[in-house]
Amino acid sequence: MAAEEPSKLDEPEFEWGKKRGLGGKKKHVQFYESFTYDGVEYTLFDSVYLYKEGEPEPYIGKLIKIWETADKAKKVKVLWFFRPCEIQNFLEGCEVRRNELFLACGDGVGLANLNPLEAIVGKCNVLCISKDSRNPQPSNEELHLAEFVFDRFFDVGQRKVLDKIDDMIAGVEVKHIFNNLDRQKPIDIAKLGLDKTSISGNIANGTPDDKSLNTFVREIDVPKPLFGGKPNPFVKGENDSNDAVRAVPSVETEPKPNVQENGLSKLESSTRILDNSMSGLLSDEKAKMVSIEKTIPRAKVDSEKGAPKVVRGINGQSKKGLTQDVGPRKGKNDVFGEVSKKKIEDDVPNGDDVKAIDLNSSKEKYKLQRAKDCCDVEDGPSKKLKIDNKLSKPVSDKFRKESPGVTPTLEAKLNHHATNVIQRPNIDDDPRKKSETIEKLPKHASNKFQKVAPTVERKLDCHALEVSQRRDVEDGPSKKLKTNERLSKLHGDKFQKESPKVTPSEEPKLDCTVSGVTRRPDVDRSKWFKEIPWEERMKTAHERGTLVLLENLDPSLTSVQDIIWQGFKESCTARMIQKTACASPHSGQAFVIFKRKETADMVVKKLQEDCLLMSNDCPLVGSIGRPYFPGKKSVFYGHYVLDQSRMLQREMKDAVSTSHCSQPNNIEYDMAVEWCLLQERADKAWSRLYRRQGEELRKLKAKLKTKV
Amino acid sequence: MASAAEKYAAFEEKVSRTVYFDNLSPQVTESVLRTAIEQFATVKGVKFIPNYLGPSNLPQCALIELDSSKKVKEVVSMIGQYPFMMSGMPRPVRARPAVAEMFDDRPEKPDRKIKCCWLDPNDPDFEVAKEMKRLTQKHAAEVEYVHKLQLLDEKKLAEQQGEALNTHSKKLKLLESIMADGTAKNLAKRYNLGVADE
């Protein structure tokens, strides 16, 4: 029953092809497997372009049913492909190829539609590149010839991208979804010559109220009355207005029973949800906002508080703790301003810095001196607290493993921290744990600790330095306190102890040395501990010339001190520089503060002359650090202030001070988009740069023969 | 006393819950950030990343800890789609999920060995290492240069936009003024046209 259209001049030619079967209530519907339209032969399961008037791009769909109704109307059922732009809201983060499509699957609006055959404007070459075992893999040539590719699916019900499907989509077996085994037909590069004249009256699938951003533009807002009664699928496929093909009443009856297949019936039921959800979906922003709004729990957190307060709190508390502890020991240590407390904290890590005062005394004896600011309270200023904790260098990595990241310097730090910890028992970042361990410590190790008197306002660092220098002069290297006996025992290192030669009268014992340094307490304390003082310490170190910048480190390193220790037997405090978005992914940097300028200079010089190779096969590069300190008045491009007289003061302030997403209906949006563009360009430039740098590095590394 | 592995795992979890913002203006403070993001998700912590190395004019960066990694994805995707303004218009901020290296207080990775060794000057690798050092310095210089160029670009765009904005506002002012002082009405009467009242 080939329906021949009278060939008019402006009507495209049509001829039915292979028949399939009869259907419909009265068996008046003839299904076909192929047809020729406008000179192009189409077969079932071909991908075609369908044109809708007014849309800039044609839709792409797969013919999954072809039939002719009793009234000689030709219909096709089309399973849709989504372009990435149509589902961009749901693509979040997925990478899409330039010519990638997504095949609709699942249940819901947008899966498939019935359309008049005349909506077809051409064949489309869509290649399935899915790695599914059921899919014959395409050859390279076919890939080149393909106009579009797809390997992923978009579930219209769940509204998400899927990589795999089961066996049926819209009642079609997957083998028809995947590439044909016998792809004999030369792929017609579909002509996009949208022949509007022949199609204009026949466009299906539009609704007057389609909004531009609507993913499901193919689904029509089915008028409500249809839901209750007979769901009329054909209405979906047709224009509300003046579609000539829209012979609803006649069409309705027969094919309907046919249409009760899974795909379509589901379609009907799901159109119920259409109205509200569609309108909800229609605007991207709304959709997004809705989802986001729902999930906002109104936080009760006071926005002004936060880290600073916590820190202050800690400081305050620690202050108390400090005074408590100090009190019994030294009468005069009363009020410590936050400044002084800070200094003490400041000092603590500094104090850890190993001062290799005396290296000529027996090699076995490692001495660590910790010069504390000794503006002592009890005794004269000349008495310095020297906490000589020389930690033996952990030769074996075993040590390091046990105490991840803990190095001798850190142990020293721990010693000192331990003291600090004791003094601030209220702090909740796990000092209690430490204090426990601390209590266990042997009493023979003693840390001396003197505090800065409130009156002395000089920076602790300077003090420490001066003091230590003075101390050098006075005492000589022989006065060392031993500590860490326990430490050494725990880690099985040889550790020569010296009896404390420091006169006990000077230095009241602090019975709190660090026990097994099996963990790195810094991590917890560093949250507040390092934050405030680090910058200050850096500043002072920079002024004194003890700041060194290390480069070429493995970016994921944290304990730079280890390296310095291993390489130079110097201890220091170091911190990796935080990586930002434009930082190099290949190498990291760190700032290191040494105790003395000479050490710093020596280190830099040695690094420049010799090569210290690290485990990432890179030599360490060191230089005198020259940090920038972010100033308050740095220039920021991109924020404008309009003339105040134009707007009401309040409005203006509100607009600026409320952080908001810009909506596309104002000039602000356009300008913002320009900035986004600039940002994207910059990102690309960075990635190119780093890629090239990475290449250069790799080439050099390959030349290295020694492996660390 | 948490083991190192546990701590590291906890840290990694924290990283997955943190968003990295940059292109923040210097006027953005912690409280601004907090209020802004609290429109979308509970903010657990805000930390700025100090800029010690780069040119001093680089915009600020911050790490914001949320309460779940799902939120992070949401926030990142939203900011990716709509330009989000903070403390000024129209330059938007940028957000992406944080990585471990952005944190300065990260714990040591468990089972990590740090090794290093001094190379003997006679070792042929010595030269290679020296070259690598030079390369590092070259790279650092390149990075600095790119930063500089970027800042110049930004400045240019800013000036361009500023000019455009000014012209627009002048135009609008002009329009307003002639409406306000009746010139428009007079002219309309003269030409027998109607004046639309707003």
**DSSP per residue over A605-620, as a string?**
HHHHHS-EEETTS-B-
Q: For A225-282, give the secondary structure using H, E and C.
A: HHHHCCCCHHHHCCCCCCCCCCCHHHHHHCHHHHHCCHHHHHHHHHHCCHHHHHHHHH
CA distance B192 to chain A (A): 31
B9 touches chain A (CB under 8 A): no
Chain B residues whose CB is inside 8 A of the A295 CB are 40-41, 71, 74
Please give the average per-residue pLDDT across B171-192, as a whole number.
Answer: 81
pLDDT, one tens digit per residue, over B17-66 is 888 888 787 777 788 778 877 877 788 888 887 777 666 667 778 888 88
Chain B residues whose CB is inside 8 A of the A689 CB are 142-143, 146
Residue A633 has pLDDT above 80, yes or no: no
B122 touches chain A (CB under 8 A): no
Residue A84 has pLDDT above 60, yes or no: yes
pLDDT category at B73 given cuts 50, 70, 90 is confident
A24-28, A529-533, A631-635: which has the highest mean pLDDT? Answer: A24-28
What is the rounded CA–CA span in Å between residue A474 and residue A361? 17
Amino acid of residue B123: D
**Cβ contact (<8 Å) for B35 and A303?**
yes
Please give the average per-residue pLDDT across B131-135, as a whole number.
Answer: 83
Between A261 and A83, the more confident residue is A83
**Is the entire prediction scored with pTM above 0.80?**
no
ipTM for the complex shown: 0.82
Between A303 and B165, the more confident residue is B165
Phi, psi of B126 (to 5 degrees): -60, -45
**Cβ contact (<8 Å) for A581 and B22?**
yes
B105 touches chain A (CB under 8 A): yes
Q: Are A344 and A451 in contact (CB under 8 A)?
A: yes
What is the rounded CA–CA span in Å between residue A639 and residue A657? 12
Structure confidence at residue B129 (pLDDT): 78
Phi, psi of A620 (to 5 degrees): -75, 135
Write down the domain spans for chain B.
4-102, 115-198
Helix axes B183-191, B124-180, angle to 10 degrees: 60
Residue A259 has pLDDT above 80, yes or no: no
Structure confidence at residue A249 (pLDDT): 39
* Burial (Cβ within 10 Å: 0-12, 13-18, ≥19) of residue A579: buried
**Cβ contact (<8 Å) for B81 and A535?**
no
Closest Cβ opposite residue B56 in set A578, A580, A631? A631
Number of Cβ atoms within 10 Å of the Cβ of A57: 13
Chain A residues whose CB is inside 8 A of the B143 CB are 582, 584, 689
Structure confidence at residue B134 (pLDDT): 84
Beta bridge partners of A330: none
Q: Which residue has the tokens 């729902």?
A: A294
Between B25 and A77, the more confident residue is A77
Q: Work out the percent of chain A whose per-residue pLDDT is above 90.
A: 0
Q: Which residue has the tokens 């090794």?
A: B115
Chain A residues whose CB is inside 8 A of the B66 CB are none
Structure confidence at residue A530 (pLDDT): 46
**Cβ contact (<8 Å) for B119 and A706?**
yes
Instruction: Report the SS3 class of residue A321.
Output: helix
Residue A325 has pLDDT above 50, yes or no: no
Name the CATH code of domain B4-102 (choices 3.40.50.620, 3.30.70.330, 3.40.50.300, 3.40.50.10140). Answer: 3.30.70.330
In 3D space, the residue among A67, A135, A77 whose CA is nearest the CA of residue A111 turns out to be A77
Structure confidence at residue A547 (pLDDT): 80
Chain A residues whose CB is inside 8 A of the B26 CB are 632-634, 636
A587-591, B4-8, B137-141: which has the highest mean pLDDT? Answer: B137-141
Q: Are A609 and B132 in contact (CB under 8 A)?
A: no
